[in-house]
């Protein structure tokens, strides 16, 4: 009976997830020629990806963006969680307001920030910067600032999600530990360092995994904000993959790039799980 109820979902997963994944692996081994017949090339597509300067540049940008958004979101989310922790009834409204960026479509977020980043002196962000004597900055229009501007949007969108998970972790900490530390004369900073942070290590490992995967697969924000420009300064793995597959019609190489991204993501997930298992055993 359970399999009967699971069957519709399993069929949908097979048709729209697993079958396309297997087909992607198959296409990565061919030179795809629609209506002319595919030609077997083996691992040549993978070699093309690994030796392509644009893909190497995109890999560096993706890694930098993933690291920045991952740790930035965790730090900001941790700060928000500390500020919004508690049982007060009014906190639910503030938490809901802070969480809105997570449930907002990434394309909408990108479009809003593209307008906020308007590079003229009367742009919204530049106006705020002018109040403290800074700017105007070009933000998305300069190769020197575009990647950092995209990273800031990623942190803004990801931090509330991390906040919710950290709040769940904070709720599981025994309050008597804080009271005992306070009686022993520990300051607020010492309680935060020696009680809160160690208790949140399991939560941190989960956040690292989820945020790193989210960072490696970033696409929509970059595509909406910059499209990979200017001068390829914000091109990431996914934008390069999409460009290669749908604009240049090089489906085989694009499929190989997608498979490589999947393998990196899988390796990262397995590594974190093994690390957590060893920590629990130790």
Q: What is the pLDDT along the chain (282 residues), one digit of tens a residue?
A: 889 999 999 999 999 989 999 999 999 999 888 878 888 988 999 999 999 999 999 999 999 998 899 899 989 998 888 888 877 677 778 888 888 888 888 888 889 999 999 888 888 999 998 898 887 888 898 899 999 999 999 999 989 998 888 888 888 887 788 778 888 787 878 888 878 888 888 788 788 888 878 888 888 889 999 988 888 899 999 999 998 888 888 899 999 999 999 998 888 888 877 877 776 665
Residues 6+ apart with CB under 8 A from 273: 209
User: Tokens in use for 228?
Assistant: 């990979």
Per the document, the length of the chain is: 282
Domain range 60-235, CATH class: mainly alpha
The vertex-120 CA angle with 115 and 124, nearest 5°, equals 45
Three-state DSSP state, 65: helix
**For residue 67, how many C-alpha atoms fall within 13 Å in the half-sphere facing its CB?**
5
Residue 80 pairs with which residues in a beta bridge?
none
Going from the C-alpha of 238 to that of each of 77, 146, 159, the distances in angstroms are 26, 17, 22
């Amino acid at each position: 009976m359970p399999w009967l109820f699971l069957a519709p979902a399993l069929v949908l997963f097979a048709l729209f997830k697993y079958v396309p994944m297997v087909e992607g692996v198959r296409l990565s081994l061919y030179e795809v020629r629609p209506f002319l017949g595919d030609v077997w090339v083996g691992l040549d597509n993978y070699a093309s990806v690994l030796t392509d300067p644009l893909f190497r540049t995109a890999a560096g940008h993706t890694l930098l963006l993933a690291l920045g958004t991952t740790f930035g979101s965790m730090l900001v989310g941790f700060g928000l969680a500390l500020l919004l922790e508690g049982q007060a009834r009014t906190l639910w409204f503030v938490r809901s307001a802070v969480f809105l960026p997570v449930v907002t479509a990434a394309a909408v977020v990108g479009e809003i920030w593209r307008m906020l980043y308007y590079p003229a002196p009367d742009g919204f962000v530049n106006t705020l910067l002018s109040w403290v004597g800074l700017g105007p900055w070009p933000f998305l229009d300069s190769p020197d600032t575009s990647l950092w501007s995209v990273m800031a949007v990623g942190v803004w969108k990801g931090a509330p999600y991390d906040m919710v998970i950290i709040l769940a972790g904070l709720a599981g900490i025994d309050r008597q530990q804080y009271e005992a530390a306070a009686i022993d004369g520990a300051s607020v900073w010492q309680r935060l360092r020696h009680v809160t942070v160690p208790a949140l290590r399991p939560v941190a490992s989960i956040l690292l995994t989820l945020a790193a995967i989210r960072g490696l697969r970033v696409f929509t924000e970059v595509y909406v904000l910059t499209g990979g420009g200017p001068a390829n300064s914000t091109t990431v793995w996914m934008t390069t993959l999409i460009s290669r597959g749908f604009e240049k019609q090089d489906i085989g190489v694009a499929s190989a790039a997608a498979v490589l991204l999947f393998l990196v993501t899988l390796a990262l997930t397995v590594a974190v799980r093994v690390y957590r298992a060893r920590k629990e055993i130790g």
